[in-house]
Amino acid sequence: MSAGAVTGAVTGAVTVRVPAKVNVQLAVGAARPDGFHDLANVFLAVSLYDEVTVTPADALTVTCSGPDADQVPLDRTNLAARAAELLAARHGLDPAVHIHIAKNIPVAGGMAGGSADGAGALLACDLLWGLESTPAELLEICAELGSDVPFSLVGGAALGTGRGEQLAPLESGIFHWVFAVADGGLSTPAVFREFDRLAAEAGTDIPVPEASPRLLAALAAGDPDALAATVVNDLQGAALSLRPQLGRTLDAGLGAGALAALVSGSGPTTAFLVRDPESAAKVAEALAASGTCRTTRVATSPAPGATRH
């Protein structure tokens, strides 16, 4: 470790809390030659959090606790481990930390849980090692880790373009949400492949993805009815094609009074926009009773990004 790094370094443990996200607009362009898709992605951070704790150790290790912990890889493919390695490599350090993830965000659920842990570990290691990286330096590493990781760091509400990693902050009022967590995950690349397959089958031109001005106005106004009328997820058809039973979950939430129902990102978590906390409790109860999902979570948006806890 360099002398400069030691000066501001923290002894002991650093814990960072980091939010899940929902996309109220996910506009997907045609596949690019590099296989990625251009996106116009309106992200909202929601108040479901993972907590990432880093502690000095002899070597890089990862542990995870929480209901979905058995689905989280504990090797170097874990995005939190990759974040620690990338940051350490930039500063000529040994990433000798123990990373513990207290996982509350559904795994492989389209809520950017892995991305959240990557952003959380990055900030936690930066603090532990006293590196004092600028936000721009951290965001650059986030973009290297994955398309959704920069947003996990900044949170709030933002428009992501490019692969989703070029962020512009957005104004947003407070919204209330219910999430229905499905059994098993959906692979994001598989959902994009299905999107491409369905688009080829339909043979129609895919428009250049653009944020909807009406949706951005509804967001800024904090108007749930206007937002409900404009939410759109271009991946929803692909997620439903791979997991048709999600249609029953969407119907159950709408039947219970949700203003809008959509697949969250690449799914299979489904998101329900509701008017207020009372409606959230009612919709969550109806979803649980419907037998169409594994569990439900109630949350609000926007939530802050990665924050020391």
Q: Which of 108, 170, 199, 284 touches ligand ATP (CB under 6 A)?
A: 108
Interface with ligand ATP in residues 161-180 (CB under 6 A): none
Q: Which of 111, 145, 170, 256 touches ligand ATP (CB under 6 A)?
A: 111
Tracing tokens 């949706």 back to the chain, one arrives at 215
Q: How far apart (Å, rounded) are the C-alpha atoms in residues 238 and 64?
A: 30
Shortest gap between Cβ of 234 and ligand ATP (angstroms)?
14
**DSSP string for residues in 176-241:** EEEEEEPSS---HHHHHHHHHHHHHHHTPPPPPP---HHHHHHHHHT-HHHHHTT-EETTHHHHHH
273 binds ligand ATP (CB under 6 A): no
Give the residue with the Cβ less far from ligand ATP, 270 or 279. 270
73 binds ligand ATP (CB under 6 A): yes
143 binds ligand ATP (CB under 6 A): no
> Which residues are within 8 A (CB) of 255 and not within 5 positions of it... i.e. 6 or more apart?
286
- Cβ 164 vs Cβ 147: under 8 Å: yes
Q: Which of 16, 40, 46, 107 touches ligand ATP (CB under 6 A)?
A: 107
- Cβ 18 vs Cβ 141: under 8 Å: no
- Using only C-alpha atoms, the chain has a radius of gyration, in whole angstroms, of 19
| Closest residue to ligand ATP, based on beta-carbon distance | 114
Q: How far apart (Å, rounded) are the C-alpha atoms in residues 258 and 249?
A: 12
112 binds ligand ATP (CB under 6 A): yes
236 binds ligand ATP (CB under 6 A): no
Shortest gap between Cβ of 169 and ligand ATP (angstroms)?
19
Tracing tokens 């749930």 back to the chain, one arrives at 224
* Enzyme catalytic residues: 21, 148
185 binds ligand ATP (CB under 6 A): yes
Give the residue with the Cβ less far from ligand ATP, 88 or 286. 88
109 binds ligand ATP (CB under 6 A): yes
Q: Which of 53, 104, 133, 266 touches ligand ATP (CB under 6 A)?
A: 266
- Cβ 99 vs Cβ 52: under 8 Å: yes
Strand partners, 261: 272
113 binds ligand ATP (CB under 6 A): yes
Give the residue with the Cβ less far from ligand ATP, 15 or 257. 15
Shortest gap between Cβ of 11 and ligand ATP (angstroms)?
25
Helices marked H in 13-78:
none
